Amino acid sequence: MDEANIRNKWQKITIFVIRLKRQRNIKMRYFLYTLFICLLLGHNVKSQSKDITPLHTFMQVNTDTAFVLQHESGRLEPPQYWVLSKKGDTVNAYKYGSSYIRNVLQPQAIRRKLLKTHEPQDIYDVGINRFFNVVAIEKNEVNRIWKTVMAEQPWNITDDSTDGYGCPPVSKGEKTDVFDAGTIKLFLITPKEIKTLKFYAPVFYEKECPGRKGRQAIHKIDQVFKDIFKD
């Protein structure tokens, strides 16, 4: 497991520990403790293959090339994937995820009902199902977007597994670091292989210690995807 994955795993563990310490309800404390133990036990068994879902393999079989972008954070949120694919001369965009709008103040009972409706348990069974849908984009525009992504030469991008995460130590051995950021994953899919690029807090570290080409490239690609899939 690479350093970025380890850091992301320990972020989640830290969040559970904080919640566990603050929780006064005995049943809830036991529940969080159980989740904490499961997270620890799963630390050594998760591998890159766990990142590959039926959605990825479906795109591998049914497209010539596909890019799948995922933001992974330490927060307990349902999975979301953004997909840009090409088959022959046809380029398409797809989105997997919940349609629920977060960060809106509302009565608790209504919020619970909406979460149950839009984020049921089977949303975590990532694949080609009711949470996966095409995004309508005009042909010339989606072709332009494809060329923009390809201009970054995705297969030549080096990620944290090659370059290392974070910044080099500054004077006195101290490091500039962040512990509550997220990881960007970009899956490069062809019929022959699925390659995964992973970057922990690339925007933060590019600001703190600029110049790494891999981070600059993933930031540009991430911005392209955000422009496509913005609500």
pLDDT tens-digit series, residues 207-220: 998 999 999 999 99
The closest alpha carbon to 20, from 4, 39, 6, belongs to 39
Reduced to 3 states (helix: H, G, I; strand: E, B; else coil), residue 63 is coil
pLDDT in tens, 96-152: 988 777 778 888 888 788 877 777 788 889 999 999 999 999 999 999 999 999 999
Mean pLDDT of the chain: 82
The share of the chain scoring above pLDDT 90, in percent, equals: 52
Domain boundaries, the chain: 1-46, 47-229
Q: Does the structure show a pLDDT above 90 at 230? A: no
pLDDT in tens, 64-107: 999 999 998 866 678 899 999 999 999 999 999 887 777 788 88
Higher pLDDT, 35 or 120: 120
* Stretch among 18-22, 108-112, 164-168, 191-195 having the lowest mean pLDDT: 18-22
Question: What is the helix (H) or strand (E) element at residue 123, kind and residue range?
Answer: none
Provide the pLDDT confidence category of residue 177 given band limits of 50, 70 and 90: confident
Tokens 């036990």, located at residue: 41
Six-digit token pair at 21? Answer: 């310490």
CATH for 47-229 (3.30.1560, 3.40.50, 3.40.1520, 3.90.550): 3.30.1560
The share of the chain scoring above pLDDT 70, in percent, equals: 73
- Does pTM top 0.85 for this prediction? no
Higher pLDDT, 132 or 231: 132
Residues counted in the chain: 231
pLDDT of the residue at 27: 55
Reduced to 3 states (helix: H, G, I; strand: E, B; else coil), residue 103 is coil
Average pLDDT over residues 33-56: 62
Residues 6+ apart with CB under 8 A from 171: none
CA angle 123/125/128 to nearest 5° reads: 90
Average pLDDT over residues 171-187: 80
Q: How far is Cα 133 from Cα 83, in angstroms, rounded to an integer?
A: 10
Provide the pLDDT confidence category of residue 37 given band limits of 50, 70 and 90: low
Q: Does the structure show a pLDDT above 50 at 45? A: no
Burial of 190 (0-12, 13-18, 19+ CB in 10 A): middle
pLDDT of the residue at 165: 81
Average pLDDT over residues 7-21: 54
Higher pLDDT, 205 or 76: 205
Would you report the helix, strand and coil content of the chain in percent, each value rounded to 5? 50, 15, 35
Q: Which residues pair with 92 in a beta bridge?
A: 85
pLDDT of the residue at 20: 52
